[in-house]
Amino acid sequence: MLIIYTKRIELYKEVAIIAPTASGKTALSINLAHKTNSVILSLDSLSVYKEIDIASAKPTVEERDGIVHFGIDRVYPNEKFDVVEFIDEYQNAKKFAQKNGKNLIIVGGTSFYLKSLCEGLSKVPPISEITKEKVKKELQDITKSYEYLVSIDKNYMSKIDKNDKYRIEKALELYFETGVSPTNFFQQNKPEPIIKDLQIFQIDTEVELLRKRITLRTKQMIKNGIIDEVIYLEKKYTRTPNCMKSIGIIEVLEYLDGKIDKPKLEELISTHTAQLAKRQRTFNKSQFKNITKDNLKNLEQLILKEF
């Protein structure tokens, strides 16, 4: 009698956890990573920068507790990192996980990055130096630039905030380089999803509880030395990089300029962070369908069932 022995094949799995800032994502993801033999990919547009540690609220090496993280400390503040680089980082994380027999947990608050993974990116043509210079001049008046783009492509610009300089810049570059409105360009150059059938989980936190967590975290950031961190960053990188305009950093710069005192500094960071959390909730609600929502405690059990 022929006996065939088969080896059990471990299937690679990946899930995503999204939620507003200060909702407990970091601790949840690290705990889950230990229980599911996973590595973590951070969905945080500020944690990618080296030396921005307190302002980004990235997990410390100790807090990472031996779990391999991607999307953290990737570039210096004066170096480029956008959604294209993020997708490369995802590919690196996936390859590492599969090679080492692990799973992948994607977690963070920059849900635009996750949306790009789920929907893919259209291939944008190289932008010439002439176009870049033209756009640079246009952006000297961001309000005028935004209104100009609205007159060209009202539908596309309705999804972009009038103060979102980065996306306004990219829309101008695309239009000036191709002569085609963003809507028409993306209709003609449809993207392919990078991840298909991804299970997405969202931490559902009461607004009042979230505000309390934000207030406590802000106090801790100031106690941990965010002012000294920003002094160091400004001295080394100046105020030019886009990341120097992030919440936490921009308010400290106002404090250093003598425009606000320390109590006002704490108040503004908390207020602006709460406003960010609201925008994140709105974005998640409008952009992701068929996601699983629950409170922090219940969500852990629901996610564990996926592995």
156-188 pLDDT, tens digit per residue, is 999 888 888 888 999 999 999 999 999 999 899
Instruction: Look at domain 129-188 and name its CATH class.
Output: mainly alpha
Compute the average pLDDT of residues 120-124. Answer: 85
In whole angstroms, what is the distance from residue 139 CA to residue 132 CA?
A: 10
CA-to-CA separations, 63 to 33, 66, 86, in angstroms, rounded: 13, 8, 23
And the tokens for 140?
């000297």
- Contact 45/19 with Cβ under 8 angstroms? no
CATH 3.40.50.300 boundaries in the chain: 14-120+193-304
Is the per-residue pLDDT at 64 higher than 90? Answer: yes
The pLDDT confidence band at residue 86, using thresholds 50, 70 and 90, is very high
- Contact 1/34 with Cβ under 8 angstroms? no
And the tokens for 237?
């990188």
User: Is the backbone of residue 3 left (phi > 0), alpha (psi -120 to 50) or beta?
Assistant: beta
In whole angstroms, what is the distance from residue 252 CA to residue 173 CA?
A: 32
Instruction: Please count the other Cβ atoms lying within 10 Å of the Cβ belonging to residue 166.
Output: 12
In whole angstroms, what is the distance from residue 12 CA to residue 83 CA?
A: 24
The pLDDT value given to residue 8: 40
- 194 phi and psi angles, rounded to 5 deg: -90, -35
Instruction: Look at domain 14-120+193-304 and name its CATH class.
Output: alpha beta
Is the per-residue pLDDT at 6 higher than 60? Answer: no
Is the per-residue pLDDT at 1 higher than 60? Answer: no
Q: In what order do the strands lie in the sheet with 69-70?
A: 69-70, 38-43, 103-108, 14-18, 199-203, 292-294
Compute the average pLDDT of residues 301-307. Answer: 92
Contacts of 75 (CB under 8 A, 6+ apart): 48, 49, 50, 81, 85
Is the per-residue pLDDT at 141 higher than 90? Answer: yes
CATH 1.10.20 boundaries in the chain: 129-188
